[in-house]
Structure 1
Amino acid sequence: MLGALILIDMQEGFDDPFWGTRNNPDAEANAARLLTHWRAQSAPVFHIQHLSTTPGSPLNPDGGLVALKSMVSPRDGEPVLTKDVNSAFIGTDLEKTLRKQGIEKVTICGLTTPHCVSTSTRMAANLGFDVTLVHDACAAFTGNADLSWREGPAVTADEIHIAALDQLNGEFAKVVATDQVLA
């Protein structure tokens, strides 16, 4: 069974320079490939949309950049669940809907790897779902991290991405590439 595809926060607001340098410019294209595959199989798809409550955030509805990106936009009948925290399971009916549909396996991709993708992946696993995380359909940013707590240089977006994936693989998810999922 293919299970459900969960696309997390693939939104226009992440094109804003506010987030800093980004890795993996092909994340959305890979997510679109996954979405096409799920649709061809008539398998369940869930779109998650972050609506920030932080004034000035590119993902705050007042900023106008909350729309899902066109290459992964939902079709009629595909649910769009909105949230204002990192987890796709908090404040939404995602878990209830998955359970009602008898779905035990989820495949996750989206933005950003160390934040909403990581939190949602961890929570999905903690809730008992079999989780696959598609690393090349996710991306990270250097962001606006407060590094005042430590010495040393800032890390790159790719290092942030890899570190987040390293922590998730094995314990919370099986981390794979898009081509592995589609094979």
Structure 2
Amino acid sequence: MNRAALVVIDVQESFRQRPIWAYGSNPDMVQQVDRLVTAARERGDLVVWVLHSEPGTGTLFDPALGYVRLLDGLTPVEGEPTLVKTAHNAFTTTNLQQLLTQAGIVDLTVCGIRTEQCVETTTRVASDLGYRVTFVTDATLTFPIAHWDLPETATLEEVLADPRTLSNEEIVARTEYALAGRFATIRTVDELTGTSLAGARA
């Protein structure tokens, strides 16, 4: 029995509705995630889908608005659970750990949105829980992060123009430095699927 699982985190329409979506780090993310999912299914790995929800907030993550759903191009098949979380990591407010324990999972591969937030936080918690974690950076996506003392009323243009704003490249590099050798092994989609994106497109 294969004791590995792929956890796909927050690859949802909520993010695509934000103006900053156009400045995301990884335009090919949905295709990259789909490649991981396809390979996981072929190996017989468990695929777990996770969505983020903020009920009653009126935000893009409020399920009442209809955006708490997977991005087009990604569809669970029968037997693949979809969990809905309300915390940054995928464990605290779901039954993910119980589900993985019942399935005998010891190896986790994680991907999704955002690189340094929900995906990294899930990775850290999973490592502390004893899972062997693989973090697939090029199947994650993030956005520039404003400096913490920039007013919440700042426009997207002001955020992007601020020299203190962390770029996508800086965020990805910091995440990989923090996780590698401590909480996870960093791998690429090509390494895990045995195919290149160009080959997948052909």
In the superposition, relative to structure 1, how do residues 143 and 100 fare at CA in structure 2: closer, same or farther (>3 Å)?
same
Matches within 5 A, 1:1-183: 1=2, 3-19=4-20, 21-53=23-55, 55-143=57-145, 146-148=148-150, 153-183=164-194
Q: Does the Cα contact within 8 Å between 1:50 and 1:59 map onto a contact in 2?
A: yes
Structure 1 residues 102-111 or 156-165, which shifts more? Answer: 156-165
Structure 1 residues 40-49 or 135-144, which shifts more? Answer: 135-144
- Alpha-carbon deviations, 1:22-63, whole Å to 9, x = none? 111111111100001111222211000111247243222122
CA displacement at 1:136 relative to structure 2: 0.3
TM-score by structure 2 length?
A: 0.82
Q: Does the Cα contact within 8 Å between 1:147 and 1:154 map onto a contact in 2?
A: no
Secondary structure of 2:25's counterpart equals coil
Gaps of 5+ in 2: 152-161, 195-202
Counterpart of 2:198 in structure 1 is none
Which whole-Å CA distance do the structure 1 matches of 2:146 and 2:87 have between them? 18
Secondary structure of 1:49's counterpart equals strand
- Alpha-carbon deviations, 1:110-137, whole Å to 9, x = none? 0001110011000000000000010100
Structure number with the bigger relative contact order (C-alpha 8 A, sep ≥ 6) is 1
Which whole-Å CA distance do the structure 2 matches of 1:100 and 1:116 have between them? 23
Which whole-Å CA distance do the structure 2 matches of 1:144 and 1:58 have between them? 19
Which whole-Å CA distance do the structure 2 matches of 1:180 and 1:144 have between them? 33
Q: CA RMSD in A?
A: 2.1
TM-score by structure 1 length?
A: 0.91
Which is higher, the Rg of structure 1 or of structure 2? 2
Identity among equivalent positions (%) equals: 32
